[in-house]
Chain A
Amino acid sequence: MKRPMRREAVLTAAILLLILAAAVVLDAALPRYHIVIKVIKKGAVYALVAVSMNLLNGFTGLFSLGQAGFMLLGAYSYAILCIPVAKRMGVYQYFQGGIMRFSLPELCSGVFGEAAGTVVGMLLALLAGGLLAGFVAYLIGLPVLRLRSDYLAIATLGFAEIVRTFIQWNALGPLTNGSNLLKSYPDLPGAASYLLLIGVFIGVIVLITSSTYGRAFKAIRDDEVAAEAMGINLAHHKRLAFVISSFFAGVGGGMLAMYMGTVQALSFKSTMTYEILLIVVIGGIGSITGSVATSFFYIAGLEWLLRGLDSGKFLGIKAPGVFKNGFRMAVVSTIIMVVVLFFRRGIMGDRELTDLLRRKNRRRKEESEHG
């Protein structure tokens, strides 16, 4: 059992490295604002957030709908910490330049040099956003995690709305810029850097799910009472899953801010949480590979391949009467409903890439044994 396991791991690593290499090539070949680069970047961000949601909803069985709230915290932390000091006066024009008088990338540039320092500062800001989201999740988790599944969903949904309101509160304006945009902060250069970054984060999540903690999470999902009887501390592990998931949602939110270039609390509505939840469902609840792959398919479809459905011409068919603004989303949500109703296990069920590779091996092995 040990040897084929290792081979699958090597194969998986090879596939992932190939994808990364392809992204490096694309970065070099295409201009920065090419649609493919944008799709990879946004897909990467959604992949991270979807995996973080899957850790909670799929692996631990806690149905939380607070993702948008935690992403909002991460996005704002990143933006606030990274706006260059010189540009703060322009961004915070209604709040006399705000109260933050430093910018992490600039501080780090002083220590590590211009190029490396900027990147280090940006990464630190992302982590700070994640830590803030995780800390808030810890606090909110103390009361809410005691609730039953559907009450938990509605309480976290409510929490996300509260966060959104608070961020837009005028009294916090010097910090959050009230309900105005935050902008002018730096972005990572290419698609490959996004992939590398989410690769590391998702790698950490994979390690967590295959650790003893991960097995405890799955035990809680399958049967809370049995898990407790086996000596798993329910409250502790649920809180842990909630905090970890929120941490990565916060980091993902920071990366979303990075990708979008501007950030505003208004756009982090419950619809965003629903969108991510539906990605997780289509990919297969409990499959990290499924969440990642679906995120890329979903973003590629929505932002690129299905654009024609909104602008009158699709697959060579011209029908401006039907293919008008909003048709794309109508089609996508119909497909989602079909998956939800008739393919409840999603694309991957709870299998991973390694399982797909292993199955091929096993089949070969079985054939040789029986034959």
Chain B
Amino acid sequence: MQKLLPYILNGISAGGQYALISIGYTLVYGILRLINFAHGDVFMVAGLILVYSSATLPFYFSIPLVLVCTAVLGFVIERAAYKPLRSAPRMSLMISAIGVSYLIQNLAFYLTGGLPQPVTRPIPWVSGMVTVLGASTKRVTLVTPVLTLALVLVLLWLTRRTRIGIGMRAASRDFETAQLMGVKINSVISFTFVVGSFLAAVGSLLYFTNYPNVAITSGAMPGLKAFVAAVFGGIGSIPGAVVGAFLIGLSEEIIKGLGYSTFSDAFTFALLIVILCVKPTGLFGESAADKV
């Protein structure tokens, strides 16, 4: 147990970061039925903005800048690449998402010169070391789950109590009817992307505190895993995504702790395939019958 403890701590921390990313997937999928392949890259861009902005600006300025820029990026992606395809088949939408992911990675390659950007100035305080039950770890490990849960509570309040949040839920239940009921579907979708990207940016700030550099492919793996988490929890469900993310984060790190680190990624995808075959609606998902 004492040997596994650091891994469990890391798992909770990774789980929190995956949770923040997976909410973006689950919200977008709930409304547009789109796997937003570009979401992982948005996450990576947030890391790059942090690296560049923190090199010159103080943190009380650069952190808000990262959050705002990433949210704007999410908004722009939706308007430019997904809105024109609103009436197109779903396959076109997914292809567009893959195209955006490809574009962001290539632009990032061009702008960074293709080199991983070292995180020279990690965010102070959260990157400090603490000792928990005899295991030494960065403070971010403890901050992540708390911050994640706080943000999720805010988000749940948002979707239950505010007008636009109720619009989001209505749109995810039935797109057309929601429109007929006077939900401004375009602003609801934009808002969804802004919220998703904002949370991904928070996840990115926490994630890259643990990593020495941001590479252009840094977003791909966490992005895919967060998507798996969203499917695991039942896509469309916010609590499901969070629970799924924590379970995946934990099991991955425990597998690493047991000495099978080669298979930690493979395990996640095997889990995905098993879940999809056994219970495609996930842990908390609602089953919907397809009408002919």
Contacts and interface: CB of A to CB of B under 8 A. Distances in A.
B106 A337 contact: no
A285 B88 CA distance: 14
A64 to B, nearest CB: 12
A310 B276 CA distance: 43
A35 B100 CA distance: 30
A168 to B, nearest CB: 7
B220 A146 contact: no
A141 to B, nearest CB: 11
Contacts, number: 132
Interface residues of B, number: 47
Interface stretch (A77-85, A125-133, A290-298, A320-328): A320-328
Given A154-B227, A277-B98, A325-B114, A149 B91 contact: yes
B110 interface: yes
B273 interface: yes
Interface string B252-292: 00000000001101101110110011001000000000001
A147 B276 contact: yes
A161 B264 CA distance: 11
A274 B109 contact: no
A166 B266 contact: yes
B277 A144 contact: yes
B75 to A, nearest CB: 17
A161 B35 contact: no
A51 B92 CA distance: 18
A158, A324, A329: most-surrounded residue (chain B CB, <10 A): A158
A94 to B, nearest CB: 16
B224 interface: yes
A72 B102 CA distance: 21
A161 B113 contact: no
B144 interface: no
Contacts of A325: 109-110, 113-114
B43 to A, nearest CB: 16
Interface string A127-154: 0000000000000100110111111011
Contacts of A333: 99, 102-103, 106-107
Interface of B: 33-35, 80-81, 84-85, 88, 90-92, 94-96, 98-103, 105-107, 109-111, 113-114, 217, 220, 224, 227-228, 231, 262-263, 265-266, 268-270, 272-273, 276-277, 280, 292
Can you list the 10 inter-chain pairs with the closest CB atoms, starting with the nearest?
A: A158-B269, A326-B110, A329-B106, A165-B266, A143-B277, A333-B103, A326-B109, A330-B110, A333-B106, A162-B266
